[in-house]
Amino acid sequence: MRTVNVVNHPNTKFNAFTLFQHNDKKSQRNLAILERLQTTLDIKQLIDIFATEVAKYLNFSGLYFKHAEISVTAKGSRAGKVERQFELRLNECFFGIITYSVNSPISLDNYKVLNELHHLLLNPLNNAVRYHQAMQLAMQDALTQLGNRRHFDEEIKRTMAQAIRRQSRVGLILCDLNKFKAINDSFGHTVGDNVLIHFADALRQSIRDADCIFRFGGDEFAIIVCDASPQSLSAIEQRIQHAIAQDALLAQYKVGCGLGLALMNNADSENSLFERADSALYRQKMTMAHKLSIVALR
């Protein structure tokens, strides 16, 4: 069962020093909470700090925050008998929902305390969400909506460190389009952009949910494959070629691609894994060029 309560915060009239003036002790408490909530712009850390504060006044087993495509779960959360939801609003506009998993009813006094705490949370949380959105844009390729090179550099480091802890392996696939410059020169940049968008979609169709795709710029792409094996890399390679062949626009302009595959070993760093995938891509393109030259001579 879920119960939704609305918490509206008129942001333009916000004043942390006048929100709670019932007594000096409560004001000092709320200012201390506000100070702790303003120590980070990381949404997960902020929700964890908030959960610690709420736990002083409410017995709950789980706390969850949802804003558009952002979903955060407080550390240690687990399911309860029922859920109680609070809708957060800024300037009468929907901002997000906080959900509590509880095993017993929330008293009227605790509802009042939660509303006070939510008012304190709203501005720091709004700042954290805006920061998160700005960082996402900074790590996203505007044309294809894939991660960019900066995002790749962070993700490959994180994924490889995680693989070492889990004793699994990371796969890396580097991709670039064949004769993309010729398409741009012959048909214009609008067609070239559409080719890149369709190629990005073909890559999306070819990977698993846990894998990540990035565009470095131009016609260069990379795929990080989690829990990889030679078989999984080969399967993705085959799916990419199939997806390209099935795309009408890519087929119209006779778009093909080169693929360089590398599987992480115990001695690999991010640079050495990338270099091996890059070398594999170069060898494949040289082999393809050699085959085409033989065909042309016949």
Residues 6 or more apart from 136 whose CB is under 8 A from it? Answer: none
Half-sphere exposure of 111 (CA within 13 A, CB side): 12
Q: According to DSSP H, which parts of the chain are helical?
A: 24-37, 43-54, 108-138, 149-166, 180-187, 189-206, 230-246, 248-252, 270-297
Mean pLDDT, all residues of the chain: 89
Evaluate whether 242 touches 163 at the Cβ level (below 8 Å): no
DSSP for residue 39: S
CB-count exposure of residue 236 (10 Å: 0-12, 13-18, 19+):
buried
Evaluate whether 78 touches 62 at the Cβ level (below 8 Å): yes
- pLDDT bin (cut points 50, 70, 90) of residue 23 is low
Instruction: Say whether 149-297 and 2-138 share the same fold.
Output: no
Percent of the chain whose pLDDT exceeds 70: 89
Q: Looking at the predicted structure, is the pLDDT value of residue 194 above 80?
A: yes
Residue 98 C-alpha from the chain's centroid: 20
Which pLDDT value is given to residue 292?
61
- pLDDT bin (cut points 50, 70, 90) of residue 14 is very low
Mean pLDDT of 225-240: 96
Q: Looking at the predicted structure, is the pLDDT value of residue 239 above 70?
A: yes
Residues 6 or more apart from 268 whose CB is under 8 A from it? Answer: 160, 276
Domain ranges of the chain: 2-138, 149-297
Task: Give the pLDDT confidence of 38-64 residue by residue, as tens digits.
Answer: 999 999 999 999 999 999 988 999 999
Mean pLDDT of 64-82: 94
Mean pLDDT of 109-123: 92
- pLDDT bin (cut points 50, 70, 90) of residue 296 is low
Q: Looking at the predicted structure, is the pLDDT value of residue 96 above 60?
A: yes
Q: How far apart are CA 11 and CA 88, in angstroms?
A: 12
**How many Å is the Cα radius of gyration of the chain?**
26
What DSSP string describes 90-127?
A: ETTEEEEEEEEEESSPPPHHHHHHHHHHHHHHHHHHHH
Mean pLDDT of 1-12: 51
Take residue 166 and report the two structure tokens written for it: 């889990």
Q: How far apart are CA 195 and CA 189, in angstroms?
A: 10
Backbone dihedral region for residue 59 (phi beyond 0: left; psi -120 to 50: alpha; all else: beta): beta
Kindly report the CATH class assigned to 149-297: alpha beta
- pLDDT bin (cut points 50, 70, 90) of residue 241 is very high
Q: Looking at the predicted structure, is the pLDDT value of residue 286 above 50?
A: yes
Mean pLDDT of 133-141: 88
Which pLDDT value is given to residue 203?
97
Strand, helix or coil for residue 261: strand
Q: Cα–Cα distances in Å, from 219 out to 94, 184, 234, 257, 268?
A: 40, 11, 22, 9, 26
- pLDDT bin (cut points 50, 70, 90) of residue 24 is confident
- Min mean pLDDT across 77-86, 88-97, 132-141, 194-203 is at 132-141
Homologous superfamily of 2-138? GAF domain (3.30.450.40)
